[in-house]
């Protein structure tokens, strides 16, 4: 089996390299997601029996001013990969986001809830979901949220850096979600490939553990970082509303995904343990 992973330097791809050591990883130089024709040519040349799309335009705020580029990467590229996967009759794993929802629901979002993205990023990711679903039935779309790890740029690493630099921090307290350790997401994808008949094709919510606000998550991160000696003292962490921290992209206040029971049978999501691993690797 030849597993081809689109993306090589992102958080998820870095973890997939450990879980899938024989896979072919295509970097941006190898396969430009902004050019659907070049992308499918590069993937076809690798002769895949499974395709994993682990790359995306994930700069949520920048996408507001780069809508065309975000659409090509987040919607047109998955559509092109889906056409190739259908042509070869092979499975396709695609990672999506909690930002496809508008955040107005009282309670956790399940896979069948109505979508309504509030940002260009969310809209383009939804475009990728819809295209993929319409083109090729043999797909797993993994919606996930608040991804972090020891690799790349993410909320955990940002909070540790800021806690070293400042005596006070202001963190949004009225947006809630489920953090996801990228290593757990990589484990889930590897499990899907090992046991493809265990989980039906379709949309799955790939996350787990307690739901928290950004403020609660930041408090936990910084507290653990201080105990590990990564920072010398605890800053004051002020809870603020999202309205007090305006950003170019509108974000859902509630983006708590209800974990998929089918996926939970073969994969474990534990962001608390993942946070300990991340901080341990930062020390």
Nearest of 6, 19, 57, 273 to residue 149 by alpha carbon:
273
Residue with tokens 């879980």: 19
Q: Is residue 272 classed as helix, strand or coil in its secondary structure?
A: helix
Do residues 208 and 271 lie in contact, with contact meaning Cβ atoms separated by under 8 Å? yes
Count CB neighbours of 106 within 10 A. 5
Q: Is residue 270 classed as helix, strand or coil in its secondary structure?
A: coil
Q: How far is CA 176 from CA 95, 231, 275, in A?
A: 20, 26, 17
Do residues 250 and 119 lie in contact, with contact meaning Cβ atoms separated by under 8 Å? yes
CA angle centred on 95, ends 90 and 100, rounded to 5°: 125
Query: Is residue 121 among the annotated active site residues?
Result: yes
Do residues 281 and 228 lie in contact, with contact meaning Cβ atoms separated by under 8 Å? no
Q: Is residue 179 classed as helix, strand or coil in its secondary structure?
A: coil
Do residues 27 and 5 lie in contact, with contact meaning Cβ atoms separated by under 8 Å? no
Could you tell me whether strands 176-177 and 212-213 are parallel, antiparallel, or unpaired per DSSP bridges?
antiparallel
Do residues 121 and 81 lie in contact, with contact meaning Cβ atoms separated by under 8 Å? no
Nearest of 213, 215, 257, 246 to residue 99 by alpha carbon:
257
Which of 109, 121, 181, 245 is flagged as catalytic? Answer: 121
Q: Is residue 217 classed as helix, strand or coil in its secondary structure?
A: helix
Q: Please list the active-site residues.
A: 121
């Amino acid at each position: 089996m030849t597993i081809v992973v689109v993306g090589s330097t992102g958080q998820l791809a870095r973890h997939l390299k450990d879980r899938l050591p024989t896979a072919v990883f295509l970097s941006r130089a190898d396969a430009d997601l902004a050019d659907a024709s070049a992308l499918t040519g590069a993937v076809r040349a690798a002769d895949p029996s499974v395709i994993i799309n682990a790359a995306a335009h994930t700069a949520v705020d920048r996408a507001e001013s780069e809508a065309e580029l975000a659409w090509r990467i987040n919607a047109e590229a998955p559509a092109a990969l889906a056409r190739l996967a259908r042509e070869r009759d092979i499975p396709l794993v695609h990672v999506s986001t909690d930002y496809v929802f508008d955040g107005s629901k009282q309670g956790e979002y399940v896979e069948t809830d109505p979508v309504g993205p509030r940002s260009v990023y969310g809209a383009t990711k939804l475009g990728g979901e819809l295209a993929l679903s319409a083109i090729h039935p043999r797909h797993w779309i993994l919606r996930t949220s608040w991804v972090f790890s020891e690799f790349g740029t993410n909320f955990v690493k940002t909070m540790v850096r800021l806690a070293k630099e400042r005596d006070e921090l202001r963190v949004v307290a009225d947006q809630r979600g489920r953090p996801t350790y990228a290593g757990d997401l990589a484990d889930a994808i590897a499990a899907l490939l090992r046991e493809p008949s265990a989980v039906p094709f379709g949309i799955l919510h790939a996350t787990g553990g307690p739901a928290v606000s950004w403020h609660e998550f930041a408090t936990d991160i910084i507290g653990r970082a201080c105990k590990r000696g990564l920072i010398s003292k605890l800053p004051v962490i002020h809870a603020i509303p999202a309205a007090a921290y305006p950003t170019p992209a509108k974000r859902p206040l509630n983006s708590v995904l209800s974990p998929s029971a089918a996926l939970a049978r073969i994969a474990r999501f534990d962001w608390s343990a993942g946070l300990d691993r991340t901080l341990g690797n930062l020390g």
